[in-house]
Amino acid sequence: MRKLVVGSRRSKLALTQSKQFIDKLKAIDPSLEIEIKEIVTKGDRIVNQQLSKVGGKGLFVKEIQNELFNNDIDMAIHSLKDVPSIIPEGLTLGCIPDREIPFDAYIAKNHVPLEELPKNSIVGTSSLRRGAQILSKYPHLKIKWIRGNIDTRLNKLETEDYDAIILAAAGLKRMGWSDDVVTTYLDKDTLLPAIGQGALGIECRSNDIELLELLQKVHNNEVANCVTAERTFLAAMDGSCQVPIGGYANYNNNNEIEFTGLIMTPDGKERYEHTEVGTDPVKLGNRVSEILKEQGAYEIIRKLNEEASH
């Protein structure tokens, strides 16, 4: 096998999960020579604005995809929730490895439970999806925008006027943070995760047969089916970072995929949610999308996308 160059965002989390994935490949073939090329994306450069206000899909992937097209890297290791549902022609997701915990982590000062936070307590999140779901269940709370890596956000919880923050649990786990930091992991009934949360997507050129064969050795087919249902729903709903959209699929005890899709208004006042069970992930994602559209969910997306384009 030739020497491989991996493209990764420069953040500590991105580099850590890239190194962890490279270790998986080397466990299969210790002779592999792999180097990481750090790439700064538009999403990394914009640190003083809410990402949903910046607009556009692929804020964290476009520059990396360009390096693939230019043959400057062989593969990219993405957090799958950052990857738009449509992959450019000529590129493919060569594998979806094992998924880390897909849920959100709630971290509060003095570990005050979410349901016990007093009126007007401030919860920090940079996600419209998290904010909308919290406001819908706990309208007496306030959502305040927060950006930065895990360390920065944990520091802001201690030093600024936040009473609690919500982060993706997968990032904390991959960075080796102890469970003691987390007040509670929020299950899907409390906070439905982002599409693809906790999963990685390994992107490469569609014609790189040698690399694709290697990547298949660390591919997790069950995880791939689950995130396919989620990403099909995202594409069918035309979801973007302007829209509070969530989706989570997992295998139930009957070895069928159970998929729940969610669309909300940012203020949490309107909520459209539906669950379907089946074996075909694409049909599942499309079916949930059709039902939510029939219920009127697409009107939220249309309005939010229209506002963002003005």
Token pair of 158, please? Answer: 């201690």
82, 104, 163, 208: the catalytic one is: 82
What would you report as the CA-atom Rg of the chain, rounded to the nearest whole angstrom? 19
Tell me how crowded residue 44 is: count the other CB atoms within 10 A of its CB: 15
Give the Cα separation of 215 and 219 in Å (integer). 6
Q: Is 187 a catalytic residue?
A: no
Token pair of 176, please? Answer: 């080796």
The answer to whether the CB of 127 falls within 8 A of the CB of 153 is no
What kind and span of H or E run contains 13? helix 12-28
Token pair of 120, please? Answer: 């007007």
With DSSP H G I counted as helix, E B as strand and the rest as coil, what are the percentages for the chain, rounded to 5? 40, 25, 35
Sheet containing 245-251: give its strands across.
245-251, 257-264, 271-278
For 204-233, letters b (16+ CB in 10 Å) and e give: bbeebeebbebbeebbbeebbbbbbbbbbb
Give the Cα separation of 184 and 106 in Å (integer). 5
Tell me how crowded residue 298 is: count the other CB atoms within 10 A of its CB: 17
Which residues are tagged catalytic? 82
